[in-house]
Amino acid sequence: MKKYVSLFLLSLFGLILLSCDTNNNDDNDYDTYSVIYDITDNFEAGTPYSISRSFNSAIPDSDVILVYRLSATDNGAAVWQLLPRTLYLDEGELDYDYDFTKYDVLIRAGGTINLDSQSSTFKNAYLNNQTFRIVIVPASYGRSTNGGGIDYSDYNSVIKAYGINDRNVKVLQ
């Protein structure tokens, strides 16, 4: 009889352990990995001036995209500015903005400036050969207790918070 009671208790204990959900996916998104892409291109003339790219594969619905523009280099280090961004120039206001779907990203340049009438010097500085860094991150992370303090305007803070290695960035063609 003791043998049956012991087996029953052992089976009951095993059943309780197996029924516990130790993988609570409501708190963190562990099945999404942050990805970084670079785009270097000229804005296509039009309304608006734009650069468009499709992703190699659809990103999960639970992910979001952050877009940074390479605005300068400082002692060899890239200076990234989070979009949307307004530059206040002598010619007027130049806005960089973007939108995305799970399949693509569209980066726009506009503002109060008539971009068609600008000099080649202006276009070379702000419209041609522009580099953007696309960072894909899980949206749920920002709501967690770990991600609530991320300064998304600081590229290095984002990279550190998400544990992203940005030494081998892919180019989005």
Give 146-171 pLDDT, tens digit per residue.
Answer: 456 788 999 999 999 888 888 888 89
Please give the backbone phi and psi of residue 87, each rounded to the nearest 5 degrees, phi first. -105, 130
For residue 149, give the 3-state DSSP assignment: coil
Q: Select the more confidently predicted residue: 51 or 138.
A: 51
User: How would you classify the pairing of strands 170-171 and 35-41?
Assistant: parallel
- Cα separation, 124 vs 33, whole angstroms: 35
Task: Give residue 29's pLDDT.
Answer: 43
Task: Give residue 162's pLDDT.
Answer: 87
How does pLDDT run across 57-100, given as a tens digit for each residue?
Answer: 999 988 999 999 999 999 999 999 999 999 999 999 999 999 99
Contact 28, 141 (CB under 8 A): yes
Task: Give residue 53's pLDDT.
Answer: 96
Helices (H), the chain: 2-19, 120-126, 155-162
Tokens representing residue 159 in the block = 């990279």
Q: Select the more confidently predicted residue: 12 or 63.
A: 63
Contact 49, 127 (CB under 8 A): yes
CA distances from 101 to 60, 63, 71, 139, 141 (A): 10, 10, 25, 14, 19
- pLDDT at residue 20 greater than cutoff 50: no
Long-range contacts at 150-153 (CB < 8 A, ≥ 24 apart): 152/66, 152/82, 153/81, 153/82
- pLDDT at residue 17 greater than cutoff 80: no
